[in-house]
Amino acid sequence: MGQILAIDYGKARTGIAVTDDMQIIASGLTTIETPKLVDFLTQYFFQNKVDEIVIGLPTDLKGNMSGIEEEIQKFISVFEKDFPDKKINRLDERFTSKMASFFISQSGKNKKQRQEKGLIDKVSATILLQNFLEQKR
């Protein structure tokens, strides 16, 4: 059994989280500059067994797609060509950034650390992945 990798896609930065090989625990991995995402994934997939990925589905409170969805669709097209063996799952990512900010504020980090946007992206990806694991069970 391989890992599941989650992507919290953003215009500038993308948060990445992964499970352990038993697909039990979600952990934040990194935040990567979005233009470097495919190169990062190529290297990561070469070094690690990843069975499937989860990409956030950005919707507002009314269920309408966010503007970033168009960029995500472009990324998915590239991803499917480059990694045809990886299953893609989509999961509603509403409130993950707000939840990430809340959890970070409760973690005891100082103000500068709490405001680091890359940390929020990584924690958002972790929440997305944990939600996916819970739905899968």
Model pLDDT for residues 17-53, shown as the tens digit of each residue:
999 999 999 999 999 999 999 999 999 999 999 999 9
Q: What is the pLDDT of residue 104?
A: 52
Would you list the domain boundaries of the chain? Answer: 3-136
Model pLDDT for residues 62-112, shown as the tens digit of each residue:
777 778 899 999 999 999 999 999 999 998 875 565 554 555 555 555 555
3-state SS of the chain?
Answer: CCEEEEEECCCCEEEEEEECCCCCCEEEEEEEEHHHHHHHHHHHHHHCCEEEEEEEECECCCCCECCCHHHHHHHHHHHHHHCCCCEEEEEECCCHHHHHHHHHHHCCCCHHHHCCHHHHHHHHHHHHHHHHHHHHC
Q: What is the pLDDT of residue 91?
A: 86
3-136 folds as Nucleotidyltransferase; domain 5 (3.30.420)
Q: What is the pLDDT of residue 71?
A: 95
